[in-house]
C-alpha cells in the first residue's frame, strides 16, 4: 500500500521543474481565445427574437384592449406574480369588444421568473412578452408594474380606450380580423369605473383638454 502511494506521488511529480510552467498552460490558452467580455450597458446586445422579457398587454387594431379579465394568466403563474381584477364593460364605458375587461392588472417583477407560462395560458393573445430585459430597480414597489405600464401604446388607426365597439361588428369579428382600425369619428369615452363619479371624470377630462 505504501509502495503504491509512493509510486503515485512519483507519477504526479514526475515533470518536476516543468510544473510551474505547465500551470500557465490555461492562461496562455485563454490569451488567444476570442474575448467574451460585453461592454454593457454602453453597448447593448440584441436579444434572441423570442427572448422572454417584460410583458405587454396588447390592443385590437382600433385601440380596444384584448384582455378580458379572465385571470387564466394569474392561475397559470407558478410564482403568483400576477394580479387581475376583471369588470363588466358598458356601452358608456367600453375597454374591450366583449362582456368583460381587465380593470386592474399587475405583474410583480420581484416574483416573476419570466417563464412565459402566463402568455401560453392567455386565450386572447392579450398578454405577450417583449424583448425588454432592463427591469432591475432598488424599490420593491417600483417592481410591481400596473396595467397602465403594461398596456401597449397606440399605433396608427387606434383610439385610446374606453370607446365604443366598431359599428356593425361584434366580438367575434374582432378575432376574425375584420376590424383593422377605429371607425371614423370614434372618440374616447369618459372613464368612470375607477371609483370616480361621472361628473368628476368629465371635469378631469375637460381640464386635461384645457391644459393641452
Cβ at position 118, least distance to ligand SF4 in Å:
3
C-alpha cell of residue 18: 516543468
Of residues 165 and 201, the one with the C-beta less far from ligand SF4: 165
Phi/psi region, residue 25 (left: phi>0; alpha: psi -120 to 50; beta: rest), is: alpha
Residue placing its CB nearer to ligand SF4 in the complex, 57 or 201 = 57
DSSP conformation letters of 72-141: HHHHH-TT--EEEEEEE--SSS-SSSSSEEEEEEEEETTT-----HHHHH-TTS-EEE-S------S-TG
**Could you give phi then psi for residue 55, rounded to 5 degrees?**
-80, 165
CB of 60 to ligand SF4, least distance (A): 12
Smallest separation (angstroms) from ligand SF4 to the CB of 128: 9
- Considering beta carbons, is residue 124 or 201 the nearer one to ligand SF4? 124
Name the minimum Å distance from CB 166 to ligand SF4: 20
Contacts by 194-202 with C-beta closer than 8 Å and gap 24+?
194/103
Distance CA 16, CA 192 (A): 84
What is the closest distance, in whole angstroms, from the C-beta atom of residue 52 to ligand SF4 in the complex? 7
Using CA of residue 50, residue 79, residue 117, residue 89, what is the dihedral sign? negative
Which one, 126 or 182, has the nearer CB to ligand SF4? 126
Report which DSSP code applies to 16.
G
Cβ atoms of residues 59 and 132 within 8 Å: no
Rounded to the nearest whole angstrom, what is the least distance from the CB of residue 114 to ligand SF4 in the complex?
A: 5
Binding residues vs ligand SF4 (CB under 6 A): 67-73, 76-77, 79, 81-82, 84, 102, 107, 112-118, 121-122, 124, 126-127
In the complex with ligand SF4, the residue whose CB is nearer, 151 or 179, is: 151
Q: CB-wise, 121 or 192, nearer to ligand SF4?
A: 121
- Torsion over CA of 116, 72, 56 and 130, rounded to 10 degrees? 10
Amino acid at each position: 500500500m505504501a509502495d503504491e502511494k509512493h509510486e503515485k506521488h512519483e507519477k504526479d511529480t514526475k515533470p518536476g521543474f516543468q510544473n510551474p510552467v505547465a500551470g500557465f498552460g490555461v492562461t496562455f490558452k485563454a490569451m488567444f481565445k476570442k474575448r467574451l467580455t460585453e461592454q454593457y450597458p454602453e453597448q447593448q446586445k440584441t436579444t434572441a427574437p423570442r427572448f422572454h422579457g417584460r410583458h405587454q398587454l396588447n390592443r385590437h387594431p382600433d385601440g380596444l384592449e384584448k384582455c378580458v379579465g379572465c385571470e387564466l394568466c394569474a392561475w397559470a403563474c407558478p410564482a403568483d406574480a400576477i394580479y387581475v381584477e376583471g369588470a363588466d364593460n358598458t356601452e358608456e364605458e367600453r375597454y374591450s369588444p366583449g362582456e368583460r375587461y381587465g380593470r386592474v392588472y399587475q405583474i410583480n417583477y420581484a416574483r416573476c421568473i419570466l417563464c412565459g407560462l402566463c402568455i401560453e395560458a392567455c386565450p386572447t393573445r392579450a398578454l405577450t412578452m417583449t424583448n425588454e430585459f432592463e427591469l432591475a430597480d432598488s424599490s420593491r414597489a417600483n417592481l410591481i408594474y400596473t396595467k397602465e405600464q403594461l398596456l401597449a401604446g397606440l399605433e396608427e388607426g387606434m383610439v385610446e380606450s374606453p370607446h365604443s365597439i366598431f359599428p356593425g361588428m361584434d366580438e367575434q369579428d374582432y378575432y376574425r380580423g375584420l376590424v383593422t382600425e377605429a371607425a371614423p369619428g370614434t372618440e374616447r369615452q369618459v372613464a368612470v369605473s375607477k371609483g370616480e363619479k361621472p361628473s368628476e371624470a368629465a371635469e378631469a377630462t375637460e381640464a386635461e383638454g384645457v391644459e393641452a
